[in-house]
């Protein structure tokens, strides 16, 4: 089954959504630390699990080209009632399929000084959360530093992230997903190449 074939949804919606929500919160509270998505092993994968957990009728969603299909739109509409938008600057969440490029961070919704929480959170599916170039993270939620090596980020990711972080408290947050694992990169994290 393709990674972006979301499937039928949760079998136990309340319990599974609570577990996924906790994994996402832990990922963002502990940047660079892998968290387990217990239901990501189902046919939905991590993107579907996070979509079901974080989206509702007040949410706007941008889908990367490989995800922007009638089947995915139907899944999102049926299970969450969220609106699909064509511009990441209007999205609460941007979902990126494995192999698709992240949207330019500066072109997403960066929030405002008064409401920085209204920015876009990007949820990106990668081939792997290890085996790529080593990145060093520092900042809130990190004791000293954490090294990660996600595979599949663009060559200009670190420079885009630096520009994103300079906007703090505005800016986007990022969830990296591969299989049953998720890593959170909140906008407050400093990222440099090792």
Q: How far apart are CA 121 and CA 115, in angstroms?
A: 14
Q: Examine the pLDDT at 38 and tell me if it is beyond 80.
A: no
Residues 67, 137, 184, 29, Cα dihedral to 10°: -170
Instruction: Give the separation between CA 191 and CA 94, rounded to whole angstroms.
Output: 21
Where residue 33 falls among pLDDT bands split at 50, 70, 90?
A: very high
Q: pTM, whole model, 2 decimals?
A: 0.93
For the chain, which domains are there? 13-193 (3.40.50.11310)
Predicted pLDDT of residue 2: 45
**1 pLDDT higher than 80:** no
Nearest Cα to Cα of residue 44 among 8, 12, 79, 69 = 8
Q: 42 or 94: whose pLDDT is higher?
A: 94
């Amino acid at each position: 089954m393709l990674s972006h074939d979301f499937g039928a949804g949760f079998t136990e919606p309340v319990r599974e959504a609570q577990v996924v929500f906790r994994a996402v919160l832990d990922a963002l509270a502990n940047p660079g630390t892998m968290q387990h998505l217990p239901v990501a092993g189902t046919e939905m994968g991590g993107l579907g699990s996070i979509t079901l957990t974080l989206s509702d009728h007040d949410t706007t969603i941008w889908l990367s080209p490989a995800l922007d299909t009638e089947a995915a739109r139907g899944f999102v509409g049926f299970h969450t009632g969220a609106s699909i938008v064509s511009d990441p600057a209007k999205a609460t969440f941007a979902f990126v399929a494995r192999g698709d490029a992240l949207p330019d961070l500066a072109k997403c919704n960066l929030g405002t000084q008064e409401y920085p929480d209204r920015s876009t959170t990007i949820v990106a599916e990668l081939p792997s959360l290890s085996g790529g170039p080593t990145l060093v993270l520092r900042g809130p939620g990190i004791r000293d530093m954490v090294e990660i090596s996600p595979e599949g980020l663009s060559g200009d990711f670190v420079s885009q992230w630096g520009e994103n972080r300079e906007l703090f408290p505005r800016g986007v947050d990022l969830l990296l997903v591969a299989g049953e694992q998720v890593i959170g990169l909140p906008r407050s994290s400093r990222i440099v190449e090792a």
